[in-house]
Structure 1
Amino acid sequence: MDIGKASSAGKWIARLLAACGIALFAWMLWHSFASASSYFESGPLTVLLLTAGSAAAVLLLLGFASRYAGRGVFLVVVLAAAISARLIWIVTVDTQPVSDFLDMHSGALSAASGDFSFGTNDYFTRWVYQIGFTLYEALIITGFGTDLIVLKLFNVLFQAGTVVLVYLSAARAFGETGGRAAALLYAVYAPNIMMCSVLTNQHISVFFFFLGVYVLIRRGLGGKADWIAVGLCFGFANLMRPLGSFFVIGLVAYIVLFKLLPGFRERKWIALAVKTAGAVAVYFIVQQSASFALVQTGVILHPLSNQEPYWKFMIGLNPDTNGGWSYDDTVYVLQFPQGEERNRAELELLKQRMADKRQVGALFLSKAKSMWGAEDSAPMWSIPEQNRPALQKKLIQTERVQYVLLAFFGLIAMTVMAYRGASAEASIFVLLLLGYAALHIVIEVQTRYRFDIFPCVFILQSLGAAVLLDTFKRRPRGANEAPSVRS
């Protein structure tokens, strides 16, 4: 098993990131185990047994696949299982769009009929960056009709594509076994399956964000057009869901920490810096071009930008909702005209909430516990207002055991990476995950938001599964043999 090669200068950075990763995965394991225990009558013992059984099943499947299934066969089987499970879900569970999903779908129906006046209504005037996904839905509706099942089928396709990207990325970072472990667990993760029936912009954005990341780690921008591809992927993904700035910052941090600093004395750093700047430029060109076109055609009134830059932070520091969405906050800010006056009101409330440092510190811990330890909200979004409590309970129990297993494998992976070092290709996923966790300490949290970064979790935990499998394989040959993990 090979986790790649890292320069001596970059190895200590990788180890430092992995040490922070140990803290995050330990936090996830501790709080998710406690949460999971509350959903079973026998409590911790049941969770422990189910997690151990699940781990054994995963390792047995991986061992069987490594012996009898080649790369192509494995991918076909996993994709078939992933697509089948999602098709069954979207056919049997009639999820109707609600909340923001309803606003965007209603706008898409209008756009498909040639009416773009929705772009100037209260919702899209306030959250103008949602227009990109709305127009994507309108394009699908125009081509294939208004039945919701069509949009859900595209969700399935993008998730299937993400399964492949998770496999390729983990295989690049940790070897073939790692790729298989990541793809297998991503394919069967219950919240992923459930969210396929929800008309969220996360399916398409996750695919393109992580397509950009894979292009980045495949050759480190070494290809002639890699920098263009990364910029285009991040740029298009951001039009679907506004997380582009986060991934662009991650791109720059990765290049600086793992490419430029270790190779600063080499002349090739100049070319790499230029390509990185080019990727960022392409990203911004995509944003500005789309924004200019939509404003000039009258579809939207304002450029594609965040019209309320303090909103997410103001909500994220609300102790009454534990940093979650607040109806009272919404009512409060809507009394002010959109623009500078509303922004000043939000900033003032934000400052008030930051005044009590002790309360803010306690809120940060509580938010981290909720964001990384609580049950996923996928059942709430996929089967709302449906009288199926037994199904919902089973789904939550399944998700809780799967989450504990992911955290357990992830903790092993971070420990191995901290001890032995890791490649830049592996470390970028730690960097992104830690950055995302840090960001959600201060902004609004929902467990649904884990979906956007969870490919990193599946990729990283795959090393833990691979290490355990390698350990069990070697045991009959000698207890003192250690798995081969080069860095």
Structure 2
Amino acid sequence: MIKAIKWTLTCMLIIFLGAICFLMVFRMATAIFIVYTALALILVKRIGNRGFIIFIILGTFLIRLIYICTVNTPLDSDFELLYEAAVLFSQGDYSFGQQVYFQEWAYQTGFVIYQGLVIKIFGQAGSILALKILNCIWNTGITLLIYLIARNFFGEKPSRLASVLYSGFVFPVTFVSVLSNQHISTFFIMLALYFLLDKRVIRLRSLFRSLIAGFLLALGYIMRPDALIVMASLAVYFFVLLLRAENMRQKLEKAMQFLAVSLTFLALTRLASYAIRESGINGQGLKNNNFYWKFMVGLNYDSGGRYNEQDYQLVYGGNKSIEEKKELEKALIRERLGINPLKLANLFLQKIQNMWCENALDWSYKHLLESDRTVNLLFSHVRFSDVDAVLKDLNELFIYASMILSLLGTLAWRKARMHDGLLIPVAILAASFVLYLFIEVQPRYAYMQQPFLFILSGSGLEIIYRAFNGFSLGQVWARLRDPMKYRPGQQ
């Protein structure tokens, strides 16, 4: 009788607290996230190694393929300009290289050539869909590489779950419909680091690993200069390895590895720039002829460090010479850095929010929001603005979950030595965090950094797995039914 009363009261308390929590935190996005995570936990536990790789490739690719077939994202902004230049390139017309955009930011030419080659193969009519499908392939590769890299540092299940979480992360799912150079560039960067770090599958000597990594990083850079952040992070990584080396032979080996990566990277990027210049595609090669622009825009307090038309007109209006533009930009940078320190700190906080916490989903389906369209979901018509609200909430849940898990793992490293290889994703995120305090920010610019955040989330997932190892729902229910039996000292 007493047991029955206790059991009844315990169940009532659980129902009461559960109902309150449900009403306080329940949103459609929360329900989707919980169900997705629960299914992911079951799948990563029950599938074999080969089966998981097949699952993560097919599952990730199909999710993205379905999306690009459902949402027809129109070309917009710089993406339209780059595609139009690629069409000209495919026709043998290099006149786009004379445009101000490609004279100032000539490093975009590599991506134009890539798109132009795809247009040549598939024709202009089918090229946009082909490029979007390729984006799906690149992002599927990124998802797989999260798992392959993470399992060099963490257990099998945490590494799997980290990649499955990224697979369902809303931003990359939607962003594959945008013809951005971030997809292919990030894939090559991730592949380069996999060759450099993996000890489980790749059985190459360290020097050959470094040469391949340098080659792949150069390909990533030719598509988009994000690889410069990675090169700086590798310098930190190899410096630590040099400090840890126990003898001169080990120090020489680590120094040779870094030189192999760096020299291969520099040689190939210079060679690509030379080839583009000498072939007449763009006389500026892969240069950045307006280095100060990003800093000038990034320090604009009124725009929160985002692109703004006022700065563009200020610099590019009035037919200023290259030197006049540079001097104006440098003067504005000095002026903006000289504002009240509290105001500058507030700008930095705004930029952290804009870069790391905001979402970039509008790049994919802004046209649907502007048209106030309705969609048919579960046999009922729903306004797309309501779907957008759920997707943005869901996107936040994924990114905040990865941040919390990474933070949990980072705190644990204070008690245990961190694997040296994890210095690379940590350095990439730290360097990006500092750099984007000063240069232009957009939420989509975090695309390259986010896979490394999900890799680091494996550390937090591993702590959780260890804490709940062998712990089942049956045990929880048994404790609820007879809590006295599980009191300390009663077992």
TM over 0.5: yes
Counterpart of 2:54 (choices 69, 76, 83) is 76
Counterpart of 1:45 (choices 24, 33, 37) is 24
Which residue in the other structure is 1:272 paired with?
254
Looking at structure 2, the residues matched to 316 and 47 of structure 1 have their Cα atoms a distance apart, in angstroms, of 37
Looking at structure 2, the residues matched to 71 and 340 of structure 1 have their Cα atoms a distance apart, in angstroms, of 58
CA contact (8 A) 1:172 1:218 kept: yes
Instruction: Give the number of the structure with larger relative contact order, counting CA–CA contacts within 8 Å between residues 6 or more apart.
Output: 1
Which residue in the other structure is 2:469 paired with?
473
Change (3 A) 1:44 1:324: farther
CA contact (8 A) 1:158 1:204 kept: yes
Larger CA deviation: 203-212 vs 358-367: 358-367
| Alignment partner of 1:412 is 2:414 | no
Counterpart of 1:250 (choices 228, 233, 252) is 233
Higher-Rg structure is 2
Looking at structure 2, the residues matched to 353 and 74 of structure 1 have their Cα atoms a distance apart, in angstroms, of 51
Which residue in the other structure is 1:329 paired with?
311
Change (3 A) 1:156 1:357: same
Looking at structure 1, the residues matched to 39 and 360 of structure 2 have their Cα atoms a distance apart, in angstroms, of 30
Q: TM-score, normalised by structure 2?
A: 0.83
Q: Counterpart amino acid of 1:342? A: K
TM superposition shift of 1:167: 0.7
How do 1:24-423 residues align onto structure 2 when only pairs under 5 Å count?
A: 45-46=24-25, 54=33, 58=37, 61-66=40-45, 68-146=46-124, 147=126, 148-218=128-198, 222-257=205-240, 259-263=241-245, 265-334=247-316, 335=318, 337-358=320-341, 359-374=343-358, 376-378=359-361, 380-386=362-368, 387=371, 388-423=384-419
TM superposition shift of 1:408: 2.4
Looking at structure 2, the residues matched to 52 and 153 of structure 1 have their Cα atoms a distance apart, in angstroms, of 30
Q: TM-score, normalised by structure 1?
A: 0.84
Q: Counterpart amino acid of 1:348? A: A
Partner SS for 1:315:
helix
Change (3 A) 1:52 1:429: farther
Change (3 A) 1:239 1:338: farther
TM superposition shift of 1:445: 0.8
CA contact (8 A) 1:254 1:428 kept: yes
Change (3 A) 1:179 1:384: same
Which residue in the other structure is 1:27 paired with?
none
TM superposition shift of 1:328: 0.4
Unaligned runs of 5+ in 1: 1-41, 480-487
Note the alpha carbon deviations across 1:58-77, whole angstroms, 9 max, x for none.
256335532x2111111212
Cα root mean square deviation, aligned: 2.5
Partner SS for 2:198:
helix
Across the two proteins, how many residue pairs are aligned to each other? 435
TM superposition shift of 1:84: 1.1
Q: Counterpart amino acid of 2:357? A: G
Counterpart of 1:425 (choices 421, 433, 436) is 421
Which residue in the other structure is 2:3 paired with?
none
Partner SS for 1:95:
coil
Which residue in the other structure is 1:437 paired with?
433
Looking at structure 2, the residues matched to 132 and 184 of structure 1 have their Cα atoms a distance apart, in angstroms, of 31
TM superposition shift of 1:281: 1.0
Looking at structure 2, the residues matched to 267 and 250 of structure 1 have their Cα atoms a distance apart, in angstroms, of 23
Partner SS for 1:225:
helix
Looking at structure 2, the residues matched to 57 and 298 of structure 1 have their Cα atoms a distance apart, in angstroms, of 51
Note the alpha carbon deviations across 1:274-325, whole angstroms, 9 max, x for none.
2211211111111111111111121112131211111111111000011111
Partner SS for 1:421:
coil
CA contact (8 A) 2:65 2:133 kept: yes
TM superposition shift of 1:391: 2.7
Looking at structure 2, the residues matched to 44 and 293 of structure 1 have their Cα atoms a distance apart, in angstroms, of 62
Change (3 A) 1:416 1:450: same
Q: Counterpart amino acid of 1:230? A: A
CA contact (8 A) 1:433 1:457 kept: yes
CA contact (8 A) 2:304 2:347 kept: yes
Looking at structure 1, the residues matched to 183 and 24 of structure 2 have their Cα atoms a distance apart, in angstroms, of 35
TM superposition shift of 1:57: 5.2
Larger CA deviation: 389-398 vs 121-130: 389-398
